[in-house]
Amino acid sequence: MLRVGLVGAGMIATAHASAYENLQDQVQVVAVADVMPERAKAMGQRFNAEVFPDGETLIEQAEVDVIDVCTPTFLHAKHTIQACGAKRHVLCEKPMALSLAEADAMIQAAEDNGVTLMIAQVLRFWPEYAAMYKKIKEGDLGEPLHMTARRFGQPPGGSWQDWFLDPERSGTVVLDLHIHDLDFAAYLFGKPVNVSAVGSLNEKGIGTVQTSISFFGGKSASCGGGWLPVSGFPFTTEITIYCEKGYIESSSRAGVNIEARGENKPTFKIYRLGQETELVTVENRDGYLAEIEYYLGCLYQGIKPEVVTPVDARQSLQIALTARESLG
């Protein structure tokens, strides 16, 4: 059985922890680290795991096979490179890093040490998104031509030292939230040829952004996203994919952030010329569970992940960085 060291015990680590609880026949969380002692202690008790004061100590001392990096974005590269150097496989939360130089160093560290690195671009595993992607790739709707997407929510609160609201540590809403849809567009269309964005972010990286992406073959995407500093606004997502022979779309509104991810039934609609609208209901399976199960399956089979590769995640980071830079 694979042994996991969970580095970080905050919001996203809690989502990962729920997945591990559902995969106890495949994996055991044996070590937990967080710089907030009470949070680390609570997560450690949840798994009867050894508790470490920080990620560096866990990676150095814990007897594990996999390091799951759920630390703030500015620590992703540091913890991933250290874990690779310790010959541990690594699952690292998105975004991959804060810079392309860091992303390249992470890829090189995994290659040099013969370990498997996957970046948790979870939207590729989100039930309705994964099902829409599969439907499009089956081909009966023809080639996908254009994608529009929206993703809006309230600014994250309660994080360690409010790191989400420090652009130097989070990369702003563009790298933290908006990157989901930028990544899915690249998943669907491949390598971009042009990226531009408009919008407005304040000194804490809060605001909105609208990114236009052109891809090879005349395909395109328009993605909007942002943190809206208002009370009561629900976490909102929408996506429409325009294909040669029809359209496919999905939307959801629930909660403030990922804590309410199970409240909506995952569905999407298919529109075809001259036919009735088709409503497709998808198995309501948590995206974090799906991505972690996939990653573990790759490790057990001794194969590299293909749904999202480190190079894929680097490309999505590059798109997000270009979008942020174009805001001025």
Percentage of the chain exceeding pLDDT 90: 90
What confidence category does residue 231 fall into, taking pLDDT thresholds of 50, 70 and 90? confident
Q: How far, rounded to the nearest angstrom, does the alpha carbon of residue 316 sit from its chain's CA centroid?
A: 11
> What's residue 144's pLDDT?
98
Cα 228 to Cα 53: distance, rounded to the nearest angstrom: 34
CB-CB contact of 101 with 37 (8 Å):
no
> What's residue 261's pLDDT?
63
Supply angle C-alpha 308, 310, 314, rounded to 5.
105
pLDDT tens digits for range 254-281: 766 666 666 678 899 999 988 999 999 9
pTM, two decimal places:
0.96
Q: How far, rounded to the nearest angstrom, does the alpha carbon of residue 80 sit from its chain's CA centroid?
A: 16
pLDDT tens digits for range 35-70: 999 999 999 999 999 999 999 999 999 999 999 999
pLDDT of residue 151 exceeding 90, the answer is: yes
Q: What are 286's two structure tokens?
A: 């948590």
